[in-house]
Amino acid sequence: MSRITLDMLLRAYAHGIFPMSESRHDTRISWFDPHKRGVLPLNKFHIPRSLAKTVRRQPYEVRIDTAFKEVVEGCASPRPGRWTTWINDSIIDMFTGLYSIGHAHSVECWSGEKLIGGLYGVSLGAAFFGESMFSVQVDASKIALVYLVARLRYGGFRLLDTQFVTAHLEHFGAHEITRADYLRRLQTAVAMEADWLALDQGAPPGVVLEAAQSNTQTS
């Protein structure tokens, strides 16, 4: 990361710009500022009934920020149907750097001492920029998403940026907005404060589900 400093990276996010690589082994970094932006409204997060039942069963242990780099590397690893990703070594280094200064976080699903899924993203003010997720066991990334939204809502976050909208995220309420609308929401969110640690890491599933679906806050 000789030319892209952490300060430059955070300033880019504050202006709606984010980095990606063309592939896992491409050494170049490209910057993106799409005309349409994916967001997942925190006050309209939809949890399918079957997933809510799974969360209550607690099939995995959910941890926060205990294996950030491993989560990023899991997201960068090839999977069936996805043989390459946009996360190269420079991306891994950059986000690990943001994690070291408290501006990036991970939500992890564990089976015993085996990391089997999770997600990571960047936090800036009351905005959270979801970067990527992975899963090697059923529903692990979906459970991580539920726990993420609960934590964001509980901590007073105002914006969950998904960058793009996939069919998978649409099931949870994600949709596209215009760049102008996104930048207005972003400007408001980054000027506010939020607390990533407000929700206790050991919060029971009932508390997590209630926090994720509560209508007491807006996005």
Average pLDDT over residues 169-193: 97
Determine the straight-line distance between the first and last CA of the chain, rounded to whole angstroms.
33
Q: In this predicted structure, what is the pLDDT of residue 84? A: 56
> CA distances (Å), 166 to each of 29, 176, 184, in order?
22, 10, 23
Q: Is the pLDDT of residue 195 over 90?
A: yes
**Would you state the structure tokens that stand for residue 193, as one six-digit string?**
């404060």
pLDDT interval class at 109 (50, 70, 90): very high
Q: What does residue 162 show for φ and ψ, rounded to 5 degrees?
A: -105, 0
Average pLDDT over residues 153-182: 96
User: How would you classify the pairing of strands 175-178 and 104-111?
Assistant: unpaired
- For the stretch 148-163, pLDDT in tens is 999 999 999 999 999 9
Q: In this predicted structure, what is the pLDDT of residue 22? A: 77
Distance, CA of 214 to CA of 211 (rounded, Å)? 5
- Average per-residue pLDDT for the chain: 92
Q: In this predicted structure, what is the pLDDT of residue 217? A: 41
pLDDT interval class at 218 (50, 70, 90): very low
DSSP state of 79: B
Question: What domains can be seen in the chain, in order of their start residue?
Answer: 36-213 (3.40.630.70)
User: How would you classify the pairing of strands 175-178 and 159-163?
Assistant: unpaired
Q: In this predicted structure, what is the pLDDT of residue 79? A: 65
- For the stretch 58-103, pLDDT in tens is 999 999 999 999 999 999 987 655 555 779 999 999 999 999 999 9
